[in-house]
Amino acid sequence: MKTDAVRGHLDGLLLAVLEPGPLHGYAIIAAVQQRSDGALQLRTGTIYPALNRLERLGLLGSSWESVGERRRRCYRLTDAGRGSLESERTAWHEFTTAIGSVLNPAAAAPAPGPVS
């Protein structure tokens, strides 16, 4: 899937994969890829600036963890991040409903009521 398709939804994707618990950058990339059955393949150059921005906004917190001799930064949702994730989900639902109504009007049309 093209990177442009993800634009505008990256924050929601990152917040969603962090909902179950803290992850480091590579694990975030792997989680998005796994949840999308490989359709979404994010690059480090895409996610790290977004993670830093989300942290500056107070939606994520982070800490350094050591694994063997390697140190990696792990990110976690804050309470504000959980609220933002719910807003992202609501906006996504409204967006997909509206687009679905245009692309597939027959499916969006209400069933006819009883004839009197």
Average pLDDT over residues 106-111: 66
Q: Read off the pTM.
A: 0.83
Question: What is the C-alpha separation between 72 and 89, in angstroms, rounded?
Answer: 29
pLDDT at 3: 59
pLDDT digits (tens, 9 = 90+) for 53-98: 999 999 999 999 888 888 999 999 999 999 999 999 999 999 899 9
Q: Which residues contact 62 (CB under 8 A, 6 or more apart)?
A: 51, 55, 73, 74, 75, 76
Q: What count of Cα atoms within 13 Å lies in the side-chain half-sphere of residue 8?
A: 6
User: What pLDDT digit, counting tens, does each position of 36-65 carry?
Assistant: 999 998 889 989 999 999 999 999 999 998
